[in-house]
Chains A and B, each alone.
Chain A
Amino acid sequence: SAVISQKPSRDICQRGTSLTIQCQVDSQVTMMFWYRQQPGQSLTLIATANQGSEATYESGFVIDKFPISRPNLTFSTLTVSNMSPEDSSIYLCSVDVLGQAGANVLTFGAGSRLTVL
């Protein structure tokens, strides 16, 4: 399975600033996804990072707030822009790996814990 490295693992940021989270995979993967997990909650899909084209955002998430880059098949970044305390969450990068049953299986990074003051 793929190994994912996320940086930073955690950060404390001031309101109004922006932070870019990096996701590096040790192999080429087709699909990369960004999720958010607010304290005590389940995971919410932010967007699908598409290589060579604009990311596909889920309802409630927009490019101006969460710009995503995917310059190649092993790397992606998620920026959280103009942060507010409500953006305090864990942000997780995930990639798909062809599963045993022929359908996709996701591997997740350890996440980036973001606290906005």
Chain B
Amino acid sequence: LAKTTQPISMDSYEGQEVNITCSHNNIATNDYITWYQQFPSQGPRFIIQGYKTKVTNEVASLFIPADRKSSTLSLPRVSLSDTAVYYCLVFSGNTPLVFGKGTRLSVIA
């Protein structure tokens, strides 16, 4: 399984764009990149998933360069409610997801 590395924590002010970068140097050809968000006292929630280039949904954008050795989760105009832990994971097929330590995002008013 490809190991991921992401910052332990980040701070941001409300209304700013937040970019969280994840490194996955050993990503395999069949691996997908997926991001989850976890609020206190809740289970993780799927945010976005991609294989290459750029993916955008109503919550976030995911940028994946051509070599796929990293990915960046972009949260536009964050609010206080975006304070959470964000996990970057890499996997293929039906292999169970292995969570790393995640990035604790604190949004400040």
Contact = CB atoms under 8 A, between A and B. Distances in A.
A108 interface: yes
Interface residues of B, number: 25
Contacts of B93: 103-104
Nearest to A10: B41
Contact of A100 (B43, B49, B94, B97): B49
A58 B60 CA distance: 32
B96 A110 contact: no
Interface residues of A, number: 26
B74 to A, nearest CB: 17
A110 B43 contact: yes
Contacts of A104: 91, 93-94
Closest 9 CB pairs of A and B: A108-B43, A103-B32, A43-B99, A42-B99, A101-B49, A105-B46, A92-B43, A42-B101, A45-B96
Interface of A: 30-31, 33, 35, 42-45, 48, 58, 92, 94, 96, 99-101, 103-111, 113
